[in-house]
Amino acid sequence: MLKSSAIVTAVLAATVSLSSCQMAQMGDTIQNGYVVDEQTLALAPVGSSREQVMLSLGSPSATATFDTEVFYYISQKRTRAVAFMKPSLQEQSILAVYFNKDGEVDRLANYKLEDGNVVDMLSKTTPTGGTEKTFLMRLLSGGVNPAQAAATALGQRRY
């Protein structure tokens, strides 16, 4: 009896360890944005026109038009272990194409994750200035009179 329970325990331990190995292999890599290709980048050398850059590299991820016009081509690589987990940023690349006043490429710069801040391309929320309290939070903080809230919900007026 003791020998068979030891075998069952060993089989269960092996199954759990193998399934955890399988879970580790289930991870996926998410590539967002423009992936810089050296051959394509060679089609837009310094001195190229804005139109030639648009034809060879496509539409930029973002633009800046303060002092000189700049096209930004942003690329990110994120990984996650399991489909329901939040992806973590592994690599980020920003190709900046700077134009002079004549609309020609003045210089190219390639920035990596180590060079600056993370650009959040996956955000689906808009940050707000404050928080909105739920009915229960207002009730517990004393901000809601239950009788008045019930009367308002029923469409009755209280004087």
Instruction: Note the Cα 8 to chain centre separation in Å.
Output: 44
Asked whether the predicted pLDDT for residue 1 surpasses 60, the reply is: no
Polymer length in residues for the chain: 159
Q: The whole model's pTM is what? A: 0.54
> For residue 22, what pLDDT is reported?
46
Per-residue model confidence as pLDDT tens digits over 71-128: 988 888 888 888 778 888 888 888 889 999 898 999 998 888 777 665 555 555 666 6
Helices (H), the chain: 2-25, 38-41, 50-57, 135-141, 146-154
Task: Identify any residues that bridge with 73 across adjacent strands, giving them in sequence order.
Answer: 95
Per-residue model confidence as pLDDT tens digits over 26-63: 678 888 887 878 888 888 899 999 899 988 888 888 88
* Mean pLDDT, range 63-76, rounded to an integer: 83
> For residue 64, what pLDDT is reported?
83
